[in-house]
Structure 1
């Protein structure tokens, strides 16, 4: 992984903090991973999808250069706007000195109210990063119309499950059929970071079985394992992620 943009923090349920997918991940071989469009139904599908597009390795490093030029890895003062419960945008790039990150709270375009309490210098420092977001969201416009392949669904080789004792969704939600969990025994290892959550990782054949079971499940599905019911938040692992510990590092 040579470039990543992710949202961190903000006012979200605890189970979604380690399960949140990055906005964009770029790899040295030219793969670009982003979250796939999600069908607008409730409850949503159990397993979110990822899309992968291909650019050249040379263009992948051009994106890194754009990020560095925008200030990623630098020491600029971005301030902290006077708004609450908004996530920060974390930019990470691979440099000759290793991975470097820059995190900006409530990054916006200057017209969304996220400038309260900021100095003119802080607002000016934020602008290149907002422009970088626009360039990364339009890779064909940034790199050229023939530089980016069509998107295809990414097939993860491993899937993590954030595990909690089953939470009854309440009488206002439709009853959900129980599903048998085909992955590793639940609840798994406890996540660090002060969260009362556990995590397991399904790999190989188990990952394929989890993916097949998730097609018939949603985020409110009760999963049965070891004679108990569990609420699971499923998360496909990215190529640079090996297991649950990586989700804690990125949250």
Structure 2
């Protein structure tokens, strides 16, 4: 007669053999794969506001933009001459999926999804740091005024601790440019923020350059500025002309008008003038 212990042992042996067979077939119950990352930006740090010229506000690039596919866009160093080059130095670095997922976890740990009090430091005309986190579950935005300019002793310990975690995250994200080889970003679209040329700096006279892009002045952007977006061959022509221009260059149109233009490379998830802050 078969005993109960014999039946139990046989059942355990059968289960073990079944699991072994599944493992050999590659059908074992592995941990579920993580949800795919969004195709667009998953983490972005940018400055908003602050006491800067209107054209600088309109053309200001994010400090860092991390895409779900591992691309990291930052503004690289600029040559220290005046007048400075017309085009910003946008760099692209590649990081792996594991790094991107770690950064998303770091953003949560740093408090991007929280609403703890960050205080109101007694600082005038400083920018606000905006951190945007996007996952399959939605988007969280955390804004903190004068993050890098806050005087010591102006916050409670809790406020200082919360700000410190966010600052550490910003430092880590902006340091991603050093994570690997970087390449210059060549945008498919470039936005041009336009205003009438007022004569420039008499100490640094500049020759006129023929404007190769869309008709100026473009659509109103606010604060006396207008904007046009160049795409395709026009974008290539504008980038080629701007590569040897500077911020004081007068851009001339066939009607005899002269314009001052600030350039903003359009990032892959953006479309053009509509994405500028104005």
TM-score by length of 1: 0.89
Equivalent residue number for residue 144 of structure 1 = none
Deviation at 1:199, TM superposition (A): 0.4
Equivalent residue number for residue 226 of structure 2 = 198
CA RMSD of aligned residues (A): 1.7
Q: Within the alignment, does 1:75 sit opposite 2:104 as a pair? A: no
The residue matched to 2:170 in structure 1 has which SS?
helix
Equivalent residue number for residue 184 of structure 1 = 214
Q: Residue 51 and residue 93 in structure 1: after superposition, are their counterparts in 2 closer, same or farther (change >3 A)?
A: same
Equivalent residue number for residue 114 of structure 1 = 151
User: Unpaired runs of 5+ in structure 2?
Assistant: 1-40
Greater than 6 Å deviation, 4+ residue runs: none
Equivalent residue number for residue 169 of structure 2 = 132
Equivalent residue number for residue 29 of structure 1 = 69
Whole-Å separation in 2 of the counterparts to 1:68 and 1:113: 23
Q: Is the 8 A contact 2:47 2:62 kept in 1?
A: yes
Q: Is the 8 A contact 2:93 2:177 kept in 1?
A: no
Q: Within the alignment, does 1:220 sit opposite 2:248 as a pair? A: yes
Deviation at 1:113, TM superposition (A): 5.0
Deviation at 1:224, TM superposition (A): 1.0
Q: Is the 8 A contact 1:52 1:153 kept in 2?
A: yes
Q: Is the 8 A contact 1:73 1:92 kept in 2?
A: no
* Number of corresponding residues: 237
The residue matched to 1:52 in structure 2 has which SS?
strand
Greater fraction helix: 2
Equivalent residue number for residue 103 of structure 1 = 143
Q: Is the 8 A contact 1:199 1:244 kept in 2?
A: yes
Q: Is the 8 A contact 2:201 2:248 kept in 1?
A: no
Equivalent residue number for residue 235 of structure 2 = 207
Q: Is the 8 A contact 2:194 2:217 kept in 1?
A: yes
Equivalent residue number for residue 48 of structure 1 = 88
The residue matched to 2:50 in structure 1 has which SS?
coil
Q: Residue 116 and residue 160 in structure 1: after superposition, are their counterparts in 2 closer, same or farther (change >3 A)?
A: farther
The residue matched to 1:15 in structure 2 has which SS?
helix
Whole-Å separation in 2 of the counterparts to 1:96 and 1:116: 39
User: Unpaired runs of 5+ in structure 1?
Assistant: 142-147
Whole-Å separation in 2 of the counterparts to 1:68 and 1:114: 26
Q: Is the 8 A contact 2:72 2:177 kept in 1?
A: no
The residue matched to 1:218 in structure 2 has which SS?
coil
Deviation at 1:140, TM superposition (A): 8.5
Deviation at 1:27, TM superposition (A): 0.4
CA deviation string 1:43-99 (max 9, x = no partner): 110111211110112321221221121111321111121011111111111033432
